[in-house]
Amino acid sequence: MIAVALVALVGCSKQSSDKAEQPSGGSTAAAPAAEKKLVVGFSQVGAESAWRTAETKSIQGEAAKRGVDLKFADAQGKQAQQIQALTSFIAQKVDAIVLAPVVETGWDAVLQQAKDANIPVILVDRGVKVSDDSLYTTLIASDFVEEGRMAAEWLAKKTNAKANIYELQGTTGSAPAIDRKKGFEEILAKNPDMKIVKSQSGDFTRAKGKEVMEAFIKSDGKNIQAVYAHNDDMALGAIQALEEAGMNPGKDVIVISVDAVKAAFEAMVAGKLNATVECNPLMGPLVFDTIDRVRKGEKLPKFIQNKDQLFEQANAAQVIGTREY
C-alpha cells in the first residue's frame, strides 16, 4: 500500500512538475528566463558639431541594433549636467555608464560613486584627469596630440615652414583642445618661422569660429596666412568670415582643421579648405563590444586608440563618396 502510494505521489508530482515546467514545446526543461536587457547610461557632451552628432547617432544606433536599453542625456556642454546625469544613472543601477566628458577635470567624486556602486565607466572620445585611474575602466578615443602634430607637419610642408598662423581652439579645458594645441606646438618648436600670432577658443562651433575669425580679420587682416582650427565646424565658420572679408580661403589663406566630417570634404572639393585630420566618431560598435568584454570580466587597457589619417584637397573628390559621417 505504501509502495503504491509512493508511486502515485511521485507519478503525480512528476506529472504536476511536468505540467508546471512543461513548455508548450512539450520538452521537460524549464523555459529559460527572458534574458535581462542590458541597461546603459550615456552622458553626451551636447550637439555642438557635426562630429558630435555623428558620434551620438553611432552609439544610439548600435544600442538599438543590440537591443540595449540606452538612457541618453545631452548635457548641452555643461559639466554640471553630466554629473547630474551620472548621479541619476547610478541611482537607477544601470549596468554600465558611457561618458564623453566635456572637460578633463572635476570628475573624481562622481566617478568614485560609480565605482562604489560597482558600475563600470567607459570614457569615449575625450579623456579625464583623475587622482586614480581606476575610477574609469577605459578610454576609447583618438590621440589628439598626434592629430595636432599631423596638422602642423602638413602645414609646414604646405608653407615651406613659414607662416603667420591664427588658431581657433576647441572648448576651453577639453582634452581635444588642450592636446591638439600641444601636438601642433611641438612641431612649431622645430620650425621657428611658423608662428601662432593669435589663438582663441571658438568652442568647437561654426558660429563661434566665424565670430573669432571676424575679430582676427578686423585686427590683423592681410597678416593672416594660415588658419589652424581644432575642428571642421570652426574652420567652416572661419572660411565664411574670410570670404565675407573678400579673402580667398584655401588659396591666399591656408586652412587646416580636424574631424574630417562630410562638410569638410565638400569645402575641400570647393577649394576652400586645404586639409583635415580625421578623428573618427563612429564608435558605437566598439563601445558595446568593450562593455561586453568588461561584463565578461576581461582586463582592458586604459586606452583603446582610434586610428586617424589626414585628408587633403588632392584626394577629397575621390574619397567624399565613401564618407559615413
Residues near ligand GZL (CB under 6 A) are 48-49, 51-52, 125-126, 141-142, 176, 204, 231, 233, 258-259, 279
User: Minimal distance in Å, beta carbon 181 to ligand GZL?
Assistant: 13
Instruction: Say how far apart CA 225 and CA 165 lie, in whole Å.
Output: 6
**Shortest gap between Cβ of 96 and ligand GZL (angstroms)?**
20
Q: Compute the least distance from the CB of residue 232 to ligand GZL, in Å.
A: 7
Q: Which is nearer to ligand GZL, 95 or 308 (CB)?
A: 308
What is the 3 state secondary structure string of the chain? CHHHHHHHHHHHHHHHHHHHHCCCCCCCCCCCCCCCCCEEEEEECCCCCHHHHHHHHHHHHHHHHHCCEEEEEECCCCHHHHHHHHHHHHHCCCCEEEECCCCCCCCHHHHHHHHHCCCCEEEECCCCCCCCHHHCCEEEECCHHHHHHHHHHHHHHHCCCCEEEEEEECCCCCHHHHHHHHHHHHHHCCCCCEEEEEEEECCCCHHHHHHHHHHHHHHHHHHCCEEEECCHHHHHHHHHHHHHCCCCECCCEEEEEEECCHHHHHHHHCCCCCEEEECCCCCHHHHHHHHHHHHCCCCCCCEEECCCCEEEHHHHHHHHHHCCC
Q: Which is nearer to ligand GZL, 282 or 300 (CB)?
A: 282
Residue 183 CB, nearest distance to ligand GZL (Å)? Answer: 13
- Shortest gap between Cβ of 46 and ligand GZL (angstroms)? 8
| Closer to ligand GZL by Cβ: residue 48 or 153 | 48
User: CB of residue 22 vs ligand GZL: minimum separation in angstroms?
Assistant: 54
Minimum CB separation of residue 204 from ligand GZL in Å reads 4
Extract the C-alpha cell encoding 306: 582610434
- Cβ proximity to ligand GZL: between 119 and 279 the closer is 279
Is the Cβ of residue 56 or residue 137 nearer to ligand GZL in the bound state?
56
- Calpha distance 323→313 (Å, rounded): 15
Instruction: Write down the least CB distance from residue 63 to ligand GZL, Å.
Output: 19
Distance from C-alpha of 238 to C-alpha of 267, rounded to nearest angstrom? 12
Cβ distance to ligand GZL smaller for residue 90 or 148 = 148
- For residues 92 and 305, which CB has a smaller minimum distance to ligand GZL in the complex? 305
Q: Which residues pair with residue 44 across a beta bridge?
A: 74
Return the number of the residue (90 or 201) whose C-beta is nearest ligand GZL: 201
The grid cell for 182 is 600641444
Q: What's CA 131's distance to the chain center, in Å?
A: 23
Shortest spacing between CB 68 and ligand GZL, in angstroms: 22
**90 or 264, CB closer to ligand GZL?**
264
